[in-house]
């Protein structure tokens, strides 16, 4: 807890292409109940939602920005060198190029975030990326927000990597789809949202879902939905959602609203009972129940 007795809340938003758009209603829920988020950690698609909220926007403003920016023409044409790049990747060679030209992505980042820097945002933000050469995770804590956000979303070899501080960086989903271990700051409650299906979708979805389960197991030994001060929410997205399926954004937002309607009370209960259980000690907060049912919605996006 803070010196004033307020709960310290961390929000971890995992990867999933455009699926993390379904998290926006949760941000609106926090705003409606006066819940302050002290730290956001984002990876890939989750990094986009996290960055918008960390910039100081309200949940409603995040919704409007997503609907304005994520349009069907968001991705530009195939890079002329795409075929050669793909051949080199299949041969095990890596080079700083991509099959798609990222012009509109960079332009959108500059339009929305301008010259904002990670270390100067109203809400603390960490972004998960991956080093191209070593495939090791990299947690970005400072620097230009637009560059860091692109790095966290650079789905190589579809999108080219970006060089930051001498390292070529690509999508954070390659190292930590749900980056629960990215932050070393204390928090009384961590709400982590996974939008990668572990048993549905295509092979890429299933692999990312499996990797996210590994992240969960590392941060929460035993694989429980509640462990210590971590609350895990799995978005019930069963159908295939590709990152260019912008027409599904309204459906994703509606799904997020359903999840909040069914499970918002659990979040409020966790937040309101923690001060009494913690006894004012501060630190990492009191342990929450060690076994609870999965936090899932009865509705599934199919």
Q: Is the pTM of this model over 0.85?
A: no
Is the pLDDT score of 203 beyond 90? no
pLDDT in tens, 137-186: 999 999 999 999 999 999 988 889 999 999 999 999 999 999 999 998 88
**Structure token digits, residue 204:** 């890429």
pLDDT in tens, 100-142: 778 888 888 999 999 999 999 999 999 999 999 999 999 999 9
Cα-based torsion angle of the residue sequence 46, 51, 53, 57 in order, rounded to the nearest 10 degrees: -140
Average pLDDT on 282-294 reads 35
Look at the block and give the residue holding tokens 């509640």. Answer: 226
| CA 301 to each of CA 49, 235, 239, 251, 291: distance values in angstroms, whole numbers, following the listed order | 19, 9, 6, 8, 26
Query: Measuring CA to CA, which residue among 49, 27, 48, 51 is closest to residue 37?
Result: 27
């Amino acid at each position: 807890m803070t010196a004033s007795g307020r709960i310290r809340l961390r929000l971890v938003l995992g990867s999933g292409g455009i699926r993390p758009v379904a998290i926006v209603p949760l941000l609106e829920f926090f705003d409606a109940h006066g819940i302050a988020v002290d730290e956001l950690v984002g990876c890939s698609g989750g990094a986009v939602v996290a960055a918008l909220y960390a910039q100081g926007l309200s949940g409603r403003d995040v919704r409007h920005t997503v609907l304005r920016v994520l349009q069907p023409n968001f991705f530009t044409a195939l890079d002329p060198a795409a075929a050669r790049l793909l051949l080199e990747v299949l041969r095990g060679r890596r080079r700083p190029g991509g099959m798609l030209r990222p012009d509109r992505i960079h332009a959108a980042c500059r339009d929305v975030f301008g010259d904002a820097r990670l270390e100067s945002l109203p809400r603390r933000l960490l972004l998960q990326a991956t080093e191209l050469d070593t495939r090791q995770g990299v947690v970005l804590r400072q620097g230009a927000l637009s560059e860091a956000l692109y790095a966290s979303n650079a789905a190589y070899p579809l999108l080219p990597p970006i060089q930051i501080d001498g390292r070529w960086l690509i999508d954070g989903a390659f190292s930590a789809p749900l980056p629960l271990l990215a932050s070393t700051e204390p928090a009384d409650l961590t709400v982590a949202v996974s939008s990668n299906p572990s048993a549905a979708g295509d092979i890429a979805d299933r692999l990312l879902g499996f990797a996210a389960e590994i992240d969960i197991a590392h941060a929460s030994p035993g694989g429980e939905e509640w462990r210590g001060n971590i609350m895990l929410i799995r978005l019930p997205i069963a159908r295939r959602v590709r990152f260019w399926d912008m027409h599904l954004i309204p459906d994703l937002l509606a799904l997020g609203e359903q999840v909040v309607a069914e499970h918002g009370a659990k979040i409020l209960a966790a937040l309101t009972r923690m001060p009494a259980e913690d006894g004012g000690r501060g630190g990492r907060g009191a342990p929450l129940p060690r076994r609870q049912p999965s936090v899932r919605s009865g509705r599934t996006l199919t």
